[in-house]
Amino acid sequence: MAGLDGVRAMAVLAVIAFHTGLSWMPGGFYGVDAFFVLSGFLITSLLINEWGATGTVRLSRFWARRARRLLPALFLLVAVIGVVLAVQPKLLATPHVIGDALSTVFYASNWYSIHGGVSYFSTASQPSPLLHTWSLAIEEQFYLLWPLLILGVLTIGTRHRHHRRRRVADPHVLSVRVIGGSHLMLSSRRAAPDPAQRRRRRLHLAFALSAFGTMASALVMAWEAPNGYTTRAYYGTDTRAQALLLGATIALGLAVWKDAAQKGWFRNLCKVLGVLGIVGSAVLWSTTSETSTFAFSGGFLLASLAAGMVVLCAAVAPDAPSVRLLELPPLPSLGRISYGIYLWYWPVLLVMSGSRLHWGVYPLFFARVGVTVAIAAISAQFLEIPIRRGALPSWRSLVAAPAAAAAAIGLVLISTLVPVGATNVAPPSGLPKTTTSTLPGTPANGEPPALSPLPPADVVAPTQEGAPGAGRPIKVLLVGDSIAGTLGVGLSTYEVNDNVQIVNEGIPGCSVAMAQEIRVLWYTLPPDKPCGTGSPDPLMTQWQKWVDTYNPDVVVYLARGETFDQEAAGRWQNLTQSGFDQYVTDRYRQAVRVLGSRGAAVVLLTTPYYSSGTAPSGSVWPEDAPSRVDRDNAIIHEVARSETTATGHPVYVFDLGAMTSPGNQYAATVAGVPMRCGDGVHFTQTGGVFVGLQLLPDLAVLGEAHRTASPSGSWRGGVPSPTPHWFPSLPC
């Protein structure tokens, strides 16, 4: 039906508009749910029609048709991405894409995304070119499970009753003598049940099951995301099944009330519903954010209902005004290749980024659509349609499918043999090495400034031989988020050269300001359990436990979380807004007092500039704005100065930002040394070594006083690995 093709076209265009950042389409992500509703309707209609004609459903033939329809284009996509990553890795730079490719080919990418989570460090990385295949995985899981369930509901028990009737060869006969001596023959056999009535009962049962499943799925989503977006609610098959099951419910309802569906009054009702569905979809797509509480507490269900109204109208009243609207060129043509458009739009979007093209939002949108449509049309003409029409005989397709999957995965695997953004982990040569502390020194020989206490504090002389603590390493506790965690990898590599022992407790999401919901890239995320430990304790309580356990000589703090949009006092705020600035300032003050509670020197590292890519609109992500970084660093200096004055215990500042962002701008390489990972956020191992050459000697001097006063030596018990388990997941 041309109207249904129009639904497909509008759905995929809405998704592209949403990811391109068109301001009037904040709810374009609902286009995926329109796809789901249509898929549920069409698949269920096919199953019902086959069952009505034959009394069963040939599952093998059904799944074979689905494979011919879906697999060729998907394998081509994965193979092309593998080639691009091998030849031009910077176009689609992403770490460990092999996991994405495997989960895509086996239609499990939604659960793969849930398993990996959308934590701070992963969302700051370059998005995977296969990220969008989560919806294809949900559809394929539906195609696998729903036919089994429908077949069971419609057929279980019917064959048993049929055989039982056949085993009774003759009915029971009674002979009754009547007047005149004759006999009247009476049969005790019951009248055979009406097959049509039995069929209606089965369809009623399937309809009730589908309707119940729709509501249950919506309730599970609301339960999983009580405050808005969560990875589990967004990607879960059970939570997103509501749209698929709603489409199935429509198909079953039309089968149950087939006679009523052909009445004129019902057709007129569907025409009204079609208009309401288009209007409702337009309102939801243009007003709702995917991060809102409403979206996950009924918004997805309402969007599915609106799309369902349009689908119902197209099926029952193809002459309705809403259907005529959807049949306007070129919507039907786009709808017929909508699967290919959806497959290719996301990689095209990543390649045709705003930072590469520097075009406006609308030129960028139309260019992306044009290129995507061209690729999808070529794929359909030369690959998808020929295979659907039988270009591959059945026996060949049995061999071709796994061979194509293996070839696609192989190409991706080859592209990962040299990881994107790989760097030399040997200490860079030719870098100057400070041999004495420069506290509270000034830049020398063009080198970046070293630690400077505010106001100046006395420098403690190195511990004399034989004194308490002599010969024992300076104990440094590194805390903060994943930025600190990656810096600690390089610092730990070089620590032995300066008699410093580092414990790396830099963990994603562990920054002073991340105590509430945040926005980063596309996502709205609740705060992690403090420092990812799973502990219910507040952040400061967790830090206090570490300070008490490790008794460090120096505590170093570095994080980026303060630059994110955050929900504070019931509204979204960010740095440069006075109320939020004061909140961050107060949190910093609380942090330095906790971290220095056992007498350790506290060092705050300023943050460098970031370049985590461009938003769909082509602009920089808000958290990358230099103004936010500058304000964060200004607050760090203010807190160090005021806390030193108020407590008499110096708080030191090391200008990491000036060292790693020379010229007040983002730099991936400094003095020929690769400093930042491919995500434009985290530090490479060589970057940590580069910083350590300047930082560690000063930390050794700062820790002397505490080591002399509290010479506990090395930490007892285990300490975290200097290389966090999540570090290999970054493009470093």
Q: What is the pLDDT of residues 676-706, one digit of tens each?
A: 987 888 999 999 989 988 888 888 888 888 8
CATH number of the domain encompassing residue 646: 3.40.50.1110
Higher pLDDT among residues 218 and 499, named by residue: 218
Inter-residue contact 302 to 294 (CB < 8 Å): no
Q: Is residue 411 part of a domain?
A: yes
User: Do residues 702 and 645 both lie within one domain?
Assistant: yes
Please tell me whether residue 46 adopts helix, strand or coil conformation: helix
Regarding whether 66 and 11 lie in a shared domain, the answer is yes
What pLDDT is attached to residue 422?
36
Residue 415: predicted pLDDT = 56
483 with 560, same domain? yes
CA distances from 516 to 127, 166, 511, 525, 558 (A): 24, 69, 11, 9, 19
Domain match, 270 and 322 both: yes
Q: In this predicted structure, what is the pLDDT of residue 45?
A: 94
Q: pLDDT exceeding 90 applies to what percent of the chain?
A: 37
Same structural domain, 125 and 274:
yes
The pLDDT-based confidence of 575 (bands split at 50, 70, 90) is confident
Residues ≥6 apart with Cβ < 8 Å to 520: 120, 123, 124, 564, 621, 623
CA dist 25 and 11 (Å) reads 12
Name which of 156-160, 165-169, 257-261, 484-488 the model is least confident about: 165-169
Please say whether the beta carbons of 518 and 559 come within 8 A. Answer: no
Which of 20 and 452 is assigned the larger pLDDT? 20
| Residues 132 and 344: beta-carbon distance below 8 Å | no
Angstrom distance (rounded) from CA 577 to CA 594: 26
DSSP 678: T
Q: Which of 395, 415, 435 is the last residue of a domain?
A: 415
The pLDDT, as a whole number, for residue 602 is 94
CB-count burial class (<10 Å; 0-12, 13-18, 19+) for 122: buried
What pLDDT score does 242 carry?
97
pLDDT tops 80 at residue 445: no
In this structure, the answer to whether residues 346 and 477 fall within a common structural domain is no
Nearest-angstrom CA–CA distance, 362 and 353: 13
Residue 215 has pLDDT above 60, yes or no: yes
- Residue 41 scores a pLDDT above 80: yes
* The model's pTM: 0.70
322-361: pLDDT as tens digits? 999 999 999 999 999 999 999 999 999 888 877 677 777 7
In a domain, 428, yes or no: no
- pLDDT for residue 220: 96
Q: Is there a single domain that holds both residue 249 and residue 301?
A: yes
**Domain contains 429:** no
Q: How far apart are CA 81 and CA 75, in angstroms?
A: 10
Are 297 and 396 in a shared domain?
Answer: yes
Q: What is the pLDDT of residue 48?
A: 93
pLDDT band for position 199 (cuts 50, 70, 90): confident
Position 187 in a domain: no
**Pair (483, 381) in one structural domain:** no
Is residue 462 located within the same domain as residue 411? no
In a domain, 66, yes or no: yes
Helix (H) or strand (E) holding 51: helix 31-54
Domains: count for the chain? 2
Instruction: Among 415, 441, 476, identify where a domain stops.
Output: 415
Is the same domain home to 379 and 457? no
Q: Please tell me the predicted confidence (pLDDT) of residue 363.
A: 86
| Per-residue pLDDT, 27 | 87
Of 415, 431, 464, the last residue of a domain is 415
- How does residue 435 score in pLDDT terms, banded at 50, 70 and 90? very low
Whether residue 462 is predicted with pLDDT greater than 90 in this model: the reply is: no
Does the residue 445 lie in any domain? no
Q: Which residue has the higher pLDDT, 122 or 565?
A: 565
Q: What b/e sequence results for 149-185 when a residue is b if at least 16 CB atoms lie within 10 Å of its CB, and e otherwise?
A: ebbebbeeeeeeeeeeeeeeeeeeeeeeeeeeeeeee
Burial of 287 (C-beta count, 10 Å sphere; 0-12/13-18/19+): middle
Tokens of 629: 């970084």
Domain that holds residue 595: 452-722
Residue 255 included in any domain: yes
Instruction: Look at residue 455 and tell me whether its pLDDT is greater than 50.
Output: no
- Same-domain pairing of 377 and 460: no
Whole-number Å distance between alpha carbons of 81 and 460:
57
Alpha-carbon span 354 to 51, nearest angstrom? 51
pLDDT tens-digit profile of 306-324?
999 999 999 999 999 999 9
